[in-house]
A and B are shown apart, each in its own frame.
Chain A
Amino acid sequence: MLGKGVVGGGGGTKAPKPSFVSYVRPEEIHTNEKEVTEKEVTLHLLPGEQLLCEASTVLKYVQEDSCQHGVYGRLVCTDFKIAFLGDDESALDNDETQFKNKVIGENDITLHCVDQIYGVFDEKKKTLFGQLKKYPEKLIIHCKDLRVFQFCLRYTKEEEVKRIVSGIIHHTQAPKLLKRLFLFSYATAAQNNTVTDPKNHTVMFDTLKDWCWELERTKGNMKYKAVSVNEGYKVCESSVKLKDAVFAHCYVLSITQWLASKRSSINRRKKEKPHLYLEGDLRQFGLPAYFVVPTPLPEENVQRFQGHGIPIWCWSCHNGSALLKMSALPKEQDDGILQIQKSFLDGIYKTIHRPPYEVVKTEDLSSNFLSLQEIQTAYSKFKQLFLIDNSTEFWDTDIKWFSLLESSSWLDIIRRCLKKAIEITECMEAQNMNVLLLEENASDLCCLISSLVQLMMDPHCRTRIGFQSLIQKEWVMGGHCFLDRCNHLRQNDKEEVPVFLLFLDCVWQLVHQHPPAFEFTETYLTVLSDSLYIPIFSTFFFNSPHQKDTNMGREGQDTQSKPLNLLTVWDWSVQFEPKAQTLLKNPLYVEKPKLDKGQRKGMRFKHQRQLSLPLTQSKSSPKRGFFREETDHLIKNLLGKRISKLINSSDELQDNFREFYDSWHSKSTDYHGLLLPHIEGPEIKVWAQRYLRWIPEAQILGGGQVATMSKLLEMMEEVQSLQEKIDERHHSQQAPQAEGPCLLRNSARLSSLFPFALLQRHSSKPVLPTSGWKALGDEDDLAKREDEFVDLGDV
């Protein structure tokens, strides 16, 4: 309890205006400082991590639901994280901290996790960036995982303040080179460490075998083939060198800007010598080394437009219909090139419109659906609701909670994504059509929608391994630009769009509505969303598999040495002890019973018949012609003359959708079959665990879902032990009782914020949340604490 100043206020209706001066006198600071250095927690550095700058005697504010404490310690900035080393960590060594992240401590902020930095100058809050003329007395850091840290620098030496503030600002906000990511220094340093083999069976989709396996699993191998045309990204050796040189230049230029300029220069040259550039390389445009295309598609077609305009297989439904995606061809003005593109697309469409392929419906995600801009705006509004500097701010927004929430339209965006996914599901499931998702680069909303569709239709994706494989397939190999979308390199703020987070939020809605259908829990999703910002895992730190492979040194001449061994986020043991990992697993999940396969099949057919019967007419031949018309339309679309209206009259579409949706929801749910979310107004909710977890006011002591969960685990345990007993009797042998103590059972009353926000643990005193009462309590408290200080001084 050293050096804790207690500050009154908070809660009420007005800013508490905490002032530390009144309670902590300079003499105490000095005495404390000594002790702090003695008791100080040693900085834990990862392999390859380097200390950059530090400052001592920093006061970190600790929010408890009524008042704010301060804790003295050292503020440190390394090339991996910002860390605060205070003395209160020793108090946390108990059972509840078992859900501890081994990489990131509770007072650690990875550099990529920093969202905004504010400084307080004379009670005024200002955003900090660039070179500072004046240094703030208080530093506020908003994190991307929605934590808010406040550090008081008033008692820190001036040069230390300068160093730490400018250090933090520089290392978090200045644009970075890809090669300078901590990822690489970590991988180099940890090279010799035996990487624990991730005993998971997540399919990484980086080999041809993986794709064949997936084709086999979904029975798509009849009509689709895995191709290795892009293997080793082999097209030309020389441009690799060129690439490396260019990477050095892109310190200021964003990668995408660079890509755009590159593309236009290619295009320019194409115009000059079209025959030379028709067969470009696939490497910059996100295609993985291996992927799957319709069987009759000639492999050389794939290369013509660098993988653009090629229908790429995502997934096959049990009834044979498939989900495909395609990136749009570059927009051209030149009629000659347009002609070439048109005939190319015609050829493509001929192959996929002929039987055995089902009727194709095209979903243009870049023109009729969400824009990335919308997502960005909505999320930045939405997250502000939860990034709270003090409780007063929270109370202010609380009154208008629902309308604020609505005006952010984040929930509405989630609803639209889910709705689109249901529409596509309807096409595939009920109308037996192929769906082709179309997007400029096929790497943002394509990933989102196709993963959602698979999650709804394929129960395998609802297991943990299946879900991880899905992310690996659709997002990582699908070329989602994690580096840009998360703005890990701080090169272009405009490119920062939380598409993946939106996906996780959509998944959360599904998990929340149908918990027994998923093998993983919401905690798993929350932890996954946090892992987005930990730069020791390669999973979310590249724009494309090609970029990863080039930078890992698997190719090119400069790396004669061993290729770097990067960690994958799916190796959860890197972050969590096995005990903590139990919280990621849903105890209620029942695996698909394998015994009654025949019966299930029968049921499925029945189900399908019921759904598709009223719609069979719509699949008859006139529709085929109808869709052929759409092909032309689509080509026009692809060629840049976009006509916004769908051909399908929206009414008909709505009706089909409605009927499908209603009929599914009026039946009881088969958790191992098709799963649709509710999308009505009241059903889309805030992912409370992720967004509220750091807000002490949101804590319900002894309540929340944890309470149910612990009861549940207890019962599961009991069932298990009873079964063991029966087993024992059955075999009349004494099996050793192996009862692992459960994480949840140790402490009687956990808070609803469990397993996060351990800081608030000691706030067990009842406090009237109203200012009057609180002031009284605090005053009382304060008197006691001042006594403590006096005692300390005497010692």
Chain B
Amino acid sequence: MWWGGRGQSFNIAPQKEEPEMGSVQENRMPEPRSRQPSSCLASRCLPGEQILAWAPGVRKGLEPELSGTLICTNFRVTFQPCGWQWNQDTPLNSEYDFALVNIGRLEAVSGLSRVQLLRPGSLHKFIPEEILIHGRDFRLLRVGFEAGGLEPQAFQVTMAIVQARAQSNQAQQYSGITLSKAGQGSGSRKPPIPLMETAEDWETERKKQAARGWRVSTVNERFDVATSLPRYFWVPNRILDSEVRRAYGHFHQGRGPRLSWHHPGGSDLLRCGGFYTASDPNKEDIRAVELMLQAGHSDVVLVDTMDELPSLADVQLAHLRLRALCLPDSSVAEDKWLSALEGTRWLDYVRACLRKASDISVLVTSRVRSVILQERGDRDLNGLLSSLVQLLSAPEARTLFGFQSLVQREWVAAGHPFLTRLGGTGASEEAPVFLLFLDCVWQLLQQFPADFEFSEFFLLALHDSVRVPDTLTFLRNTPWERGKQSGQLNSYTQVYTPGYSQPPAGNSFNLQLSVWDWDLRYSNAQILQFQNPGYDPEHCPDSWLPRPQPSFMVPGPPSSVWLFSRGALTPLNQLCPWRDSPSLLAVSSRWLPRPAISSESLADQEWGLPSHWGACPLPPGLLLPGYLGPQIRLWRRCYLRGRPEVQMGLSALTVSGLQDELSHLQELLRKWTPRISPEDHSKKRDPHTILNPTEIAGILKGRAEGDLG
């Protein structure tokens, strides 16, 4: 995105004022030991956080080098530049904070040798002159120690980091800390992102989507249907809670079919887990399951989500390879870069996701039918696909608010096991599916720069937030655990949270901070950059009036059932695997019979398709992404952040600069209009507000220069 934001990713301190020479000099002086920074630093700590060690150092790799302090606590490693305005803006610093879990690799440099630090023992006989912290989120922090590392503090802090990291790796569960809004001046003007933890949230959202045939079910209020499911979800109107409970028992981990999104044109997008094949449902159960899947439509398309998409292990492997490739000292020769990139297969997976999402969104958008995403676990790729489909087909989801609620609903509330997938538990099931999703969204952003209200920087912030220890959003595997921790469930012992000792009346858990409270970690200037200056809502106009077609809620059997797999539709005889031929049931989630013949030969066959499935014009709100090799690109601003040479020079004259100019000019005009009537403008001219055009042109240029500079 060549017009991008104006910054150089978030690596430049938002406070532009450089520390004056005097103050730098002053700080270069080794501070007396008695002046421990704890006095000033402790106030910056999170509750429960302890400073383990600290040392003065210089942030390297980028111009200008910043001097400051490297601090290791029991939660994170952070670098605090001198002259940082502490009591301003954000309690946490987003630039140089590395949560311990986020540290992917730790290296110490002494002279020409470079040693990877694994255990505390590896530090013996080694004086670290410089320490390199490679984040798992592709960030890199280089801190050089003053006096060439001979300072004992340098040694101490390095030791502390190594130890703390080793300990955090051992810890079975990463506890994190919770902050509450009580301590914060919650002066946010914007409506908060619904956390989808109350029935009201779900009801509001349902109304917003105008899903008339659906209701909020409270059957899982006590998490006794499934702990991984949210407490509330949407089920068809006609289905009783008892039927829901009965039907859900026949799905993997109790994750039965629920509404994901209701298309204004009348289609419904559902998601569910794999059929629980070991169960032996009776006729009524099967009927309930079928009713839920059918959701009142006569056409039903089952989508095998895992088909054509990478497995979790694939995603993890690709991500590891990508990280290795993007290391600043990656040994890949420049002329072999492209094939190395291809070799990671990451972009292939991104492309596969986009392709499938695009297919599904066409299925959902253009016809009245029920499209069911089915994945065995229903917690990974289903979330990815259903979010992508909504981004492609619903303009509302492309706003800042809409996107955050989408992630909250389809990922957080839907029980994506963030902690496991991001490697927080040390379990083998690590797979950054969510990061894959963010990459897909970035590709969309690239391809449709005018259709999204949020910018690349927002995605980057979200990308960096998945491992921060201060909010629970991404630190739990299930809504149940999250609720337990945040004290929603009175039946569980409440965790002590400082600043939350006196729960005020009302919805206490609403005070819980989530990752969407951006002002926790990002300054206002940075949050402003979350807005995409090129967003042109004209592209998704209000005139996008979907023709609400009557959804025929006929409780009869579906007239057509299809399986969408391998990019082709195959007719199915039945929805559930149990009824006629129990022998068909495979143990795997991929029970769906694969087309034995290749898809193109299938295509040649005659299909007796319903006539209303014919081609119809592209609805204006729908985006069809490109997923050809040349169109899928590498998210450089994210993955190549560790490389200084790539990092610099990403700035360009921006649209935001122009927008500033516009508002400035408009402001000028506004000031003018009341003050001067055309007759006496020469007298009352205020030299500060009224500029002649040449002066304005001067400002324009000056600003442009400023942007460039």
Interface residues of A (CB under 8 A from B): 12-14, 394, 397-403, 405-406, 409, 411-412, 415, 512-516, 588, 590, 593, 595, 661-662, 665-671, 678-683, 686, 688, 691-692, 697-705, 707-708, 710-712, 715-716, 718-719, 722-723, 725-727, 729-730, 732, 748-749, 752, 764-777, 779-781
Contacts and interface: CB of A to CB of B under 8 A. Distances in A.
Contacts of B626: 697-700, 703, 752
Contacts of A707: 448-451, 534, 536, 539
B568 A771 contact: yes
Contacts of A699: 626
A688 B669 contact: no
Contacts of B333: 681
Nearest to A668: B709
B447 A698 contact: no
Given A593-B701, A776-B613, 5 more contacts: A588-B3, A686-B630, A719-B658, A726-B665, A766-B622
B580 interface: no
B394 to A, nearest CB: 15
B665 A723 contact: yes
A772 B603 contact: yes
A409 B335 contact: yes
Contacts of B681: 729-730, 732
B655 A708 contact: yes
B649 A715 contact: no
A708 B449 contact: yes
Interface stretch (B110-118, B209-217, B690-698): B690-698
A711 B653 contact: no
A21 B583 CA distance: 47
B438 interface: no
A700 B448 contact: yes
Residue from A409, A691, A765, A768 having most chain B Cβ neighbours under 10 A: A768
A680 to B, nearest CB: 6
Interface string B580-605: 00000000000000000011101110
Interface string B633-649: 01010001001111011
B457 to A, nearest CB: 16
B708 interface: yes
A780 B613 CA distance: 9
B63 interface: yes
Contact of A401 (B614, B629, B653, B709): B629
A697 B600 CA distance: 19
B629 A700 contact: no
B2 interface: yes
A780 to B, nearest CB: 4
Given A719-B665, A722-B666, A764-B618, A668 B651 contact: yes
A680 B449 contact: no
24 contacts: A13-B600, A590-B705, A593-B698, A662-B645, A665-B645, A666-B62, A666-B644, A670-B708, A680-B643, A704-B447, A708-B450, A708-B655, A710-B536, A719-B661, A722-B666, A730-B681, A748-B539, A749-B620, A766-B362, A766-B624, A767-B362, A768-B567, A769-B358, A772-B603
A756 to B, nearest CB: 15
A703 B359 CA distance: 18
B337 A702 contact: no
Contacts of A409: 335
Contacts, number: 276
Interface stretch (B30-38, B312-320, B338-346): B338-346
A516 B708 contact: yes
Contact of B693 (A701, A702, A726, A769): A726
Interface in B534-548: 534, 536, 538-539
B603 A398 contact: no
B350 to A, nearest CB: 13
B505 interface: no
A776 B607 contact: yes
Nearest to A670: B708
A706 to B, nearest CB: 9
Nearest to A386: B630
Contact of A770 (B568, B649, B661): B568
B21 interface: no
A704 B604 CA distance: 34
B482 to A, nearest CB: 36
Given A681-B338, A723-B665, A749-B539, A765 B616 contact: yes
Contact of B629 (A12, A398, A701, A729): A398
Residue from A512, A697, A776 having most chain B Cβ neighbours under 10 A: A776
B327 interface: no
A400 B600 contact: no
A590 B653 CA distance: 10
Interface string B327-362: 000001111111111100001000000010011001
B92 interface: no
A301 to B, nearest CB: 42
B655 A711 contact: yes
B538 A748 contact: yes
B339 A772 contact: no
A774 B649 CA distance: 44
Given A668-B709, A698-B628, A765 B617 contact: yes
B603 A775 contact: yes
B328 to A, nearest CB: 11
A698 B630 contact: yes
Contacts of B173: none
A409 B1 CA distance: 25
Contacts of A705: 2, 449
A776 B609 contact: yes
B365 interface: yes
Contacts of A770: 359, 566-568, 599
B448 A415 contact: no
Contacts of A730: 681, 692-693
B352 to A, nearest CB: 11
Residue from A405, A512, A680, A771 having most chain B Cβ neighbours under 10 A: A771
B617 A700 contact: no
Given A681-B334, A698-B628, A766-B624, A715 B659 contact: yes
A703 B336 contact: no
Contacts of B692: 730
A244 B601 CA distance: 64
B451 A732 contact: no
A712 B696 CA distance: 19
A557 B2 CA distance: 57
A712 B649 contact: no
B147 interface: no
Nearest to A595: B698
A766 B651 contact: no
Contacts of B649: 513, 665, 669, 678
Contact of A711 (B335, B447, B536, B566): B536
A678 B337 CA distance: 14
Given A402-B342, A769-B355, A702 B600 contact: no
Nearest to B358: A769
Residue from B3, B451, B603, B698 having most chain A Cβ neighbours under 10 A: B603
Nearest to B693: A727
B704 interface: yes
Residue from A681, A723, A725, A780 having most chain B Cβ neighbours under 10 A: A681
B174 interface: no
Contacts of A772: 566-569, 599-600, 602-603
Contacts of B451: 702-703, 707
A343 B653 CA distance: 54
Nearest to B8: A668
Contacts of B662: 715, 718-719, 722
B527 interface: no
B309 to A, nearest CB: 14
B612 to A, nearest CB: 10
B335 A406 contact: yes
Given A711-B450, A773-B359, A680 B646 contact: yes
